[in-house]
Amino acid sequence: MPVFFGLRSFLAIALVALGALASLLMNGDAQGGLIVLVCGVAAVLVASGAHDDAPTAIVAAPAVPAAVQAPQLAAVIEAIAEPLLVIADHHVEAANQGARELLGQHILGEDVRVAIRHPAAAERLMDPQDGANGGPIHLVGLGAREQRWEMRMRNLDDGRRVVHLIDRTGSYAAERMRVDFVANASHELRTPLASLLGYVETLADEAGDDPEIRGRFLKIMFGEARRMQRLIDDLISLSRIEAEKYRAPNQSVNMGDLVGQVCQELSGSPRAADVVTQIGDVPPIRGDMTQLSQLLHNVIGNAMKYGREGTPVTVTLIPDGTSMVRLTVTDEGEGIPAQHLPRLTERFYRVDSGRSRSLGGTGLGLAIVKHVVERHRGRLDISSVVGKGTAVTILLPLQSVS
């Protein structure tokens, strides 16, 4: 019930009314009694406006919450993106869009073993106890051949079962990549290490007394140790770049100067004389100086390594529209067959492993380049013509430096 006055206000008005009645009875003065009553009530109302404990304004009663409409089961499962089925008596009673896309539009009403054509799934789906205590099962080959699904089941109180399919293809691929990476890195490190140990053992024997053999072996050992060092340096760089993936680089980098500096640093290598640079007028970019230097080392270094002796390596740097700079490094080497191009930026992927190793390659150079380009929100393109040569193009956003 709405509350108009506080309790004290009500008592005060009652007293005023009593006073007015007494005045009327004692004096027989109806007008006087009425005036007393009206003034008294007004005084009480004014006085109670600010001081009453109870609220003086009309307080609206809390609105009755609108009844929550229970959505239909079909609407609920349709709102879930992952494939979901409701099974009754081993038949598909309901299936959301995700399930229909994966298993076919015809599955409604079908025997669940026909709907989910998978032997492992069928066995579990026919076991009445499974939804109560069975763990998830993994299905390969449902939908596309490479896809991997996790199937979970729950028994409802009324005997129906909810089957939930979760796409694990991405996480499986990431896990595979991680396992492969560790295996590859261990293998790459173990090979020079085994070689080093072999030479150390031989030197410890009589062979170590021969100065000629000792000198030759020490040179090989130095090469193997350097190979391990390059590999470890590249592994550390890669993990640093990955760790900083989501941190935008914030240095002002003059790419023209950096290209000059890297070419200078590479000037000790055998093919340095063949590098021709064409640097246009490009404004500084917002970047990470160390990582961009490494990118240039890897791309220009590759062109020098895999380019044909005596042919030029060309490095051009020009503006690309108003918001990007374009770096192109071309060589006139053997080129790369088209089927290898999409995989070149994978860790340890090499077109010719023997050649890469003999030239001091770690197989991580282009993987590092890809990560640096991604961190700078740039683009990487590698094109190649077998027998003619390779061109690596990198676009980097200018992002005016504040």
**Residue 373 interacts with ligand ADP (CB under 6 A): yes or no:** no
Least separation, in Å, of the C-beta of 333 and ligand ADP? 5
CA distances from 256 to 5, 283, 349, 381 (A): 83, 9, 30, 20
Q: By C-beta, is 142 or 368 nearer to ligand ADP?
A: 368
Among 189, 242, 351, 383, indicate the residue that binds ligand ADP (CB under 6 A). Answer: 351
**Residue 235 interacts with ligand ADP (CB under 6 A): yes or no:** no
Residue 183 identity (one-letter amino acid): A
Least separation, in Å, of the C-beta of 236 and ligand ADP? 15
Among 361, 378, 396, 398, indicate the residue that binds ligand ADP (CB under 6 A). Answer: 361
**Residue 192 interacts with ligand ADP (CB under 6 A): yes or no:** no
Task: Report the Cα–Cα distance between both ends of the chain, in Å, rounded.
Answer: 65
User: In angstroms, rounded to a whole number, what is the distance separating the alpha carbons of residues 355 and 320?
Assistant: 35
Using DSSP's 3-state secondary structure scheme, residue 80 falls into: coil
Q: By C-beta, is 109 or 342 nearer to ligand ADP?
A: 342
**Residue 352 interacts with ligand ADP (CB under 6 A): yes or no:** yes
**Residue 390 interacts with ligand ADP (CB under 6 A): yes or no:** yes
Least separation, in Å, of the C-beta of 208 and ligand ADP? 33
Among 336, 372, 380, 396, indicate the residue that binds ligand ADP (CB under 6 A). Answer: 336
Q: By C-beta, is 51 or 343 nearer to ligand ADP?
A: 343
Cβ-based neighbours of 234, under 8 Å, separated by 6 or more = 362, 364, 365, 368
User: In angstroms, rounded to a whole number, what is the distance separating the alpha carbons of residues 261 and 373?
Assistant: 19
Cβ-based neighbours of 229, under 8 Å, separated by 6 or more = none
- Cα angle 217, 223, 228; round to 5: 125
**Residue 363 interacts with ligand ADP (CB under 6 A): yes or no:** yes
Listed ranges 50-58, 213-221, 272-280, 298-306: which one lies at the site for ligand ADP (CB under 6 A): 298-306
Least separation, in Å, of the C-beta of 104 and ligand ADP? 43
Q: By C-beta, is 150 or 352 nearer to ligand ADP?
A: 352
Total residues at interface with ligand ADP (CB under 6 A):
21
Cβ-based neighbours of 241, under 8 Å, separated by 6 or more = 291, 368, 371, 372, 375
Asked if residue 377 lies in contact with residue 370, where contact means CB atoms within 8 angstroms, the answer is: no
Q: By C-beta, is 87 or 367 nearer to ligand ADP?
A: 367
Among 282, 344, 372, 396, indicate the residue that binds ligand ADP (CB under 6 A). Answer: 344
**Residue 85 interacts with ligand ADP (CB under 6 A): yes or no:** no
Of 275, 359, 273, the closest CA to residue 317 belongs to: 275
Least separation, in Å, of the C-beta of 391 and ligand ADP? 9
Cβ-based neighbours of 373, under 8 Å, separated by 6 or more = 295, 379, 380, 394, 396
Asked if residue 260 lies in contact with residue 277, where contact means CB atoms within 8 angstroms, the answer is: yes
**Residue 314 interacts with ligand ADP (CB under 6 A): yes or no:** no
**Residue 304 interacts with ligand ADP (CB under 6 A): yes or no:** no
Cβ-based neighbours of 127, under 8 Å, separated by 6 or more = 134
Least separation, in Å, of the C-beta of 227 and ligand ADP? 11
By the criterion CB under 6 A, which residues form the site for ligand ADP? Answer: 298, 302-303, 306, 331, 333, 336, 344, 349-352, 356, 361-367, 390
